[in-house]
Amino acid sequence: DAGVIQSPRHEVTEMGQEVTLRCKPISGHDYLFWYRQTMMRGLELLIYFNNNVPIDDSGMPEDRFSAKMPNASFSTLKIQPSEPRDSAVYFCASSPESGVVPQHFGDGTRLSIL
Amino acid sequence: AQSVTQPDIHITVSEGASLELRCNYSYGATPYLFWYVQSPGQGLQLLLKYFSGDTLVQGIKGFEAEFKRSQSSFNLRKPSVHWSDAAEYFCAVVNTGGGNKLTFGTGTQLKVEL
């Protein structure tokens, strides 16, 4: 079975540019999560969706960050404009149904803002 | 709010030695606990989970963890470490009242000496 697929794996761009990270969850999973990992703050939940609807975006750091899930098989996390402090590894994860079930993680996108 | 503490940032063990990684949680109700492992450049992989029942749970790769309510702990153990176990390990608790959201500890980096 294909796992959670993220693209790109690496992104290097200059400050001020728009960055779009992409995620394809595991087919049939109803929940999708976006995380950010940094040395200073560890793993932080940014936002999560249930059945394509954003449920909790309290972890989104600023208005520069936005996330969408136009259908069950695709989600994007956008940063506009990007800043050097946004440099981090961004993970997407998905899980099936509701209740307490493990999340399945993608391999992440390593983002560097120069 | 629930929280997870991993008191050891780095641990070094010799190959073949036993391993115990500590995890303490703060949660009012019965916690749902996970251990994940992250190898360099990769996403998080689930090692094991505790939901209820037997307090000693077995996971993949020869790992096990014991839930101790009296100590608010969920320590990860392995009787004999292999060099390939070198990675970062994360303990996590789920917020059952919040849509399967995970709260992660800060992680423990394991180094294995040959």
Q: Tokens 């999340």: give the residue.
A: A103
Q: Which residue of A has its CA nearest to B90?
A: A43
Q: Which residue has the higher pLDDT, B102 or B24?
A: B24
Give every CB contact of residue A20 below 8 A, 6+ residues apart in sequence: A76, A77, A78
B60 contacts chain A (CB < 8 A)? no
Q: How far is CA B95 from CA A100, A106, B52, B99, in A?
A: 9, 21, 15, 7
Q: What is the pLDDT of residues B65-107, one digit of tens each?
A: 999 999 999 999 999 999 999 999 999 998 766 567 788 999 9
Transcribe A34-58 into DSSP letters. Answer: EEEEETTTEEEEEEEEETTEEEE-T
Mutate to test the interface with A, among B46, B60, B94, B100 (most CBs of A within 10 A): B100
Those residues of chain A that have pLDDT short of 70 are 1, 98-100
Could you say which of A42, A102, A104 has the minimum Cβ distance to residue B106? Answer: A42
% of residues, chain B, pLDDT over 90:
73
Chain B residue numbers with beta carbons less than 8 Å from the beta carbon of A101 are 100
What's the pLDDT at B98? 59
Q: Is B34 on the interface with A (CB under 8 A)?
A: yes
* pLDDT score at A1: 64
Amino acid A98: pLDDT: 61
Q: Is the dihedral of CA A82, A85, A86, A88 positive or negative?
A: positive
Q: How far is B43 from chain A (nearest CA, A)?
A: 4
Residue of chain B nearest A9, judged by CA positions? B41
In this predicted structure, the answer to whether residue B28 has a pLDDT above a threshold of 80 is no
CB atoms B102 and A45 under 8 Å: yes
